[in-house]
Amino acid sequence: MKLSRYFAELLENYHAEIEDLRHDSEGRDVLQSRLKDKRRAFKDLLPMIDVAPEMVAPAFHRAFEFPAGRLDTIRELLSREPGEFLPWGELAQDITVAAWAQPLVQAVLGEPSGEDFMSMAVGLEYALAHAANRAAPDSADHRFDEDEGEGEDADSDSESLGEDFLEQQGFDRRSPK
């Protein structure tokens, strides 16, 4: 998967933002509660979609499903720069958006740069999940939706894979392997 300069730089920032949201000062995993807070305050975050999109995009963490057979569009998106993205209507045909995220999508699409932001959010979520699931075959159905009852094991696995990704980028690990 080839990332444009835009996505390569933004992916590092996005991953770091997700990891920053993950733990409180006592080291407890609080990602789900912080994501819920971010979603509740989403309308207040909208003005930031142009200046700090990596701060707003986590509201869509695990909001998208990427069905097998439709991944070429997403991979093509990741090779593009802003202004070159597919219109949201075309991109949305190749993904599934979780029901809980639909109101957030509608709020974003009401903004002048909303379509580009949604494309960016989809691209970041796919790239982050792909980096964490590199061993998964492309023919598998890649599903990354928000499950309110998602177990701690999935978050622990994701955290470990996220740390593996950052270590490969030259960052120090927070926890031992």
User: What is the per-residue pLDDT across 6-50, written as a single tens digit (0 to 9) for each?
Assistant: 999 999 999 999 999 999 999 899 999 999 999 999 999 999 999
Residue 84's contacts (CB-CB under 8 Å, 6 or more residues apart) are: none
Residue 66, classed as helix, strand or coil, is strand
pLDDT mean over 51-55: 94
Q: Identify whether the C-beta of residue 58 lies closer than 8 Å to the C-beta of residue 18.
A: yes
Q: Which residue has the tokens 């190749």?
A: 94
Q: Cα separation of 128 and 165, whole Å?
A: 9
pLDDT mean over 109-131: 94
Task: Please say if the pLDDT value at position 145 is more than 90.
Answer: no
| Confidence at residue 148, expressed as pLDDT on a 0 to 100 scale | 35
Residue 41's contacts (CB-CB under 8 Å, 6 or more residues apart) are: none
| Confidence at residue 162, expressed as pLDDT on a 0 to 100 scale | 55
Residue 144's DSSP bridge partners are: 64
Please write the tens of the pLDDT for every residue from 69-102. Answer: 889 999 999 999 999 998 999 999 999 999 999 9
Beta strands in the chain (DSSP E): 63-66, 96-97, 142-145
Torsion sign (Cα): 135, 137, 140, 146: positive
| Confidence at residue 130, expressed as pLDDT on a 0 to 100 scale | 83
Average pLDDT, the chain: 82
